[in-house]
Structure 1
């Protein structure tokens, strides 16, 4: 499945997806990587492995809608069939989501619906939860509000800082995101309202 990835930072989740696809464990072809930041390290990672990249800094556009229209045009030119947000720090607008004729997935560093938005790990520590984690969800028109595909719990330790908790959650993200993408690509995801059902593989009991 022809896949685009949007990033804003280092690209560790992008690398996990690339490793899974190149290892034969994930039947996607990452054909394009885009970013809202010119200097995102993930763009350099993509170039190193021969994936076309493009930056869409908002300062180059009169408004966000123009930027998102350019994003959509770029994805259609690349015949994108799946869009993955991997540390993309901008919220895609309602018009983009309505016009996208392909699934859009995101990974978030909390057990949604708890702690949406920025600094989820800090929110978890400030709230005093004993368990946090990460969530892969379908993207809708809200903020981290789409139907949940998969989640993985991560214990919050008494000595945790925002940085140490973020590191352990990131390790879980690297496992969970390729697994969730694999379910979507294999056609095993069925959405019923807000609920997502994971269908059994043919031949399994």
Structure 2
């Protein structure tokens, strides 16, 4: 059974769904730990309540990004972590991390990439006045939300939507899509081979 870690920076609703799927046996993998780069984030409380080991870091306490990532990678390897699921992790992964986990890390993004990359995707889509947006799960690479796309789901933007109601619709889509893709990724049914996605979906 594969071992994986969840990375999250904020409230952790997607991490909560992943933890639930693991506990329900719907993800056939061992959740080794949750990694958070923001001490005091709500996700830490959620993970601890579910008895998931938590690794909390304050990146500003490290000499540089490489030093921060080297420590994270060392701690993950000590726990036998093979795969990573980024579930609201608001930090760009650098070369030190990518060298260790390239092709083994997927990310959730709240837009239909390549549209609206970056930290404020929901707001950017709303302010652009688009008729639809959505969510994307993709492998990470050295760019900002530019890796090979695994799956997308469209979310319609209704005329009466506010930024808050649109965000809630996006989150509902995330809670469906991410655990389904993670379950396939963590059992080898979705993998990245020579930059191309290969699938064995039944």
Q: What TM-score, normalized by structure 2, do the two folds share? A: 0.93
2:81 counterpart SS class = coil
Instruction: Supply the distance in 2 between the matched residues of 1:57 and 1:158 (Cα, whole angstroms).
Output: 41
RMSD: 1.6
Aligned residues: 201
What residue is the counterpart of 1:146 in the other structure? 147
8 Å CA contact 1:105–1:139 kept in 2: the answer is: yes
8 Å CA contact 1:83–1:102 kept in 2: the answer is: no
Unaligned runs of 5+ in 1: none
What residue is the counterpart of 1:159 in the other structure? 160
Instruction: Supply the distance in 2 between the matched residues of 1:193 and 1:112 (Cα, whole angstroms).
Output: 21
C-alpha offsets along residues 119-164 of structure 1, whole Å, 9 cap, x if unaligned? 1011111222111110000011110001011111110111222221
1:149 counterpart SS class = strand
Q: Single out whichever of 41-50 and 97-106 deviates more from structure 2.
A: 97-106
Deviation of the 1:110 alpha carbon: 0.3
Q: What TM-score, normalized by structure 1, do the two folds share? A: 0.92
Instruction: Supply the distance in 1 between the matched residues of 2:191 and 2:48 (Cα, whole angstroms).
Output: 35
Unaligned runs of 5+ in 2: none
C-alpha offsets along residues 73-115 of structure 1, whole Å, 9 cap, x if unaligned? 1100110011111111111112310222661111000011110
Instruction: Supply the distance in 2 between the matched residues of 1:144 and 1:103 (Cα, whole angstroms).
Output: 15
1:171 aligns with 2:139: no
C-alpha offsets along residues 34-81 of structure 1, whole Å, 9 cap, x if unaligned? 111110111111111221112111121111111111110110011001
8 Å CA contact 1:81–1:102 kept in 2: the answer is: no
